[in-house]
Amino acid sequence: MNQANTSPTLDALFQRILARKPDAIALVDPINKQRITGRAPMRLTYAEADRVISALAAHFIDAGLPPHSVIAVQLPNTIEFVLTVLAAHRAGLVVAVFPLLWRQAELVAALNRTSARAIVTMSKIDGVIHADLAMHAAAEAFSIRHVCGFGNDLPEGMFSLDQSIAKPSRSTRGVMPDGRKAAIVSFDVTADGFRAVPRSHLSLIAGGLAISLESDLPQGVNMMSAFLPSSFAGLAASVVTWLLSGGSLALHHPFDAEVLEQQLAELA
């Protein structure tokens, strides 16, 4: 048997859960999402999430992004982040995760360093117009060919992913699942500045598995993550542990003690 066929990816883990329980709740937005992004909170089953993932993957394919190219993502800890990452993997892309505090200079440097072909963002996050930041950074990054975002009032030239979800394309791409290949690019801080570090699907799964085993997480558990997903640790401790447990993942962003208590009460 071809080794690539037996090497799991994050999307393969998602589809394994989808086949078992499509109608179970998969993802739950922060209850203060309206304040953070101007968008109403969502709650998606695995089947509903799968439809959005397929629509976003089709958008990336139709945009002409070649297999194994890098797509930069600067999104808050909301459902859109998880859906975008899984969609990019389904389209055969690598995701570079950008911290929310990065502004134009950091974005341009990271885009050029990773040779990213596209960038995905939200129209606004906590009062900051991230759509404008992305457009200005894209204008200075020689490799960027596609800029897209979620939310209203997107600037001219930015493609609406909400529209792509509402009117999905059926485009697909035959991608051989291979967990040994790069899944994300995160950034380490060094004396010479930040350094781009590619991480494979297997590295992420190993990180999530270590946390799951150490925490003794049961299968099908309801989880809540307050980690910002812009690092290897944040992804392994949230998205990957969720995919390994096969339960539901509630997201919390940013830290707010009152909101946190309310969200924990809803999960109990």
By CB atoms closer than 10 A (0-12, 13-18, 19+), residue 167 is: exposed
Q: Which residue has the tokens 């791409």?
A: 173
Burial (0-12, 13-18, 19+ Cβ within 10 Å), 5: exposed
Determine the Cα–Cα distance for residues 74 and 84; give it in Å rounded to an integer: 10
pLDDT of residue 1: 38
Q: Which residue has the tokens 């963002």?
A: 121
pLDDT at position 178 is 85
Task: Report the 10 Å Cβ neighbour count for 202.
Answer: 16
Structure confidence at residue 208 (pLDDT): 95
pLDDT per residue, tens digit, the chain (268 aa), is 344 455 889 999 999 999 999 999 999 999 999 999 999 999 999 999 999 999 999 999 999 999 999 999 999 999 999 999 999 999 999 999 999 999 999 999 999 999 999 999 999 998 899 999 999 999 999 899 999 999 998 999 999 999 999 999 988 887 777 889 999 999 987 777 788 999 999 999 999 999 999 999 999 999 999 888 889 999 999 999 999 999 999 999 766 666 666 766 666 6
Give the tokens for residue 117. Answer: 């072909």
For the chain, helix, strand, coil in percent to 5 are: 45, 20, 35
Q: Which amino acid type is present at position 5?
A: N
- pLDDT for position 3: 43
Q: Which fold has domain 3-267?
A: Rossmann fold (3.40.50)
Predicted local distance difference test score (pLDDT) of residue 4: 42
